[in-house]
């Protein structure tokens, strides 16, 4: 049996081709990637025209969608790491403490393996239905326990994330 690259535990199944990541760590990666995907879409989607005008005016190279996905990955990891440390300092216990510790392991692994962003998002740069840039044309909606990212032009589902609402 192979070893998970993140937690060093047994890899029970393959979730990402070419990356030995166990099921528990894959779930954590989905949490991190969904947050990053939404932050990137919000930031890049609102600034796309401004960025393109800057390109035209300044003659600088405008980043492709493929490159844009990693543009703010370091900032995201720093933000998430700070958030995890804050939650741990509040005195998380039991399952929440374990979740935060494992999430921190996943964040640290992503810092050492930033190419995972491009692997993970390779199918999400453009809409598979109409070819529109997902940065320029996307919608999001909650459907039950799922967060759906859809194409703003043709309504094709780009990605869905499990996002249960807990009642306290």
CB 27 within 8 A of CB 16: no
pLDDT-derived band of residue 69, with 50, 70 and 90 as boundaries? Answer: low
Res. 78: pLDDT tops 60: yes
Tell me the mean pLDDT in the region 36-52.
60
DSSP-based three-state secondary structure for 105? helix
Rounded-to-integer distance, Cα 132 and Cα 31, Å: 25
Q: Which residue ranges make up each domain of the chain?
A: 26-125, 127-168
Q: Which tens digits make up the pLDDT trace of 155-166?
A: 999 888 876 554
Helices (H), 90-163: 94-112, 115-121
Predicted TM-score (pTM) of the model is 0.69
Phi/psi-derived region of residue 91, left when phi > 0, alpha when psi is between -120 and 50, beta in every other case: left
pLDDT category of residue 167 using cuts at 50, 70 and 90 = very low
**pLDDT value of position 67:** 64
Tell me the mean pLDDT in the region 56-62: 37
Res 44: pLDDT = 55
CA 119 – CA 16 distance, rounded (Å): 9
Q: In the structure, what pLDDT confidence band is assigned to residue 26 with cuts at 50, 70 and 90?
A: very high
Mean pLDDT, all residues of the chain: 78
């Amino acid at each position: 049996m192979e070893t998970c690259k993140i937690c060093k535990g047994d890899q029970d199944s393959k979730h990402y081709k070419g990356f030995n990541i166990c099921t528990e760590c894959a779930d954590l990666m989905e949490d991190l990637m969904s947050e990053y995907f939404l932050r990137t879409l919000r930031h890049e989607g609102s600034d796309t025209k401004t960025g393109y005008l800057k390109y035209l005016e300044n003659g600088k190279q405008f980043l492709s969608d493929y490159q844009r996905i990693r543009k703010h990955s370091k900032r995201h990891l720093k933000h998430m790491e700070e958030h995890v440390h804050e939650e741990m300092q509040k005195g998380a216990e039991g399952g929440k403490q374990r979740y935060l510790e494992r999430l921190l392991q996943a964040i640290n692994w992503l810092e050492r393996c930033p190419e995972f962003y491009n692997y993970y998002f390779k199918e999400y740069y453009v809409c598979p239905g109409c070819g529109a840039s997902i940065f320029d044309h996307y919608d999001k909606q909650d459907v039950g326990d799922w967060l759906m990212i859809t194409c703003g032009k043709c309504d094709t589902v780009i990605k869905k994330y499990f996002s249960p609402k807990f009642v306290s």
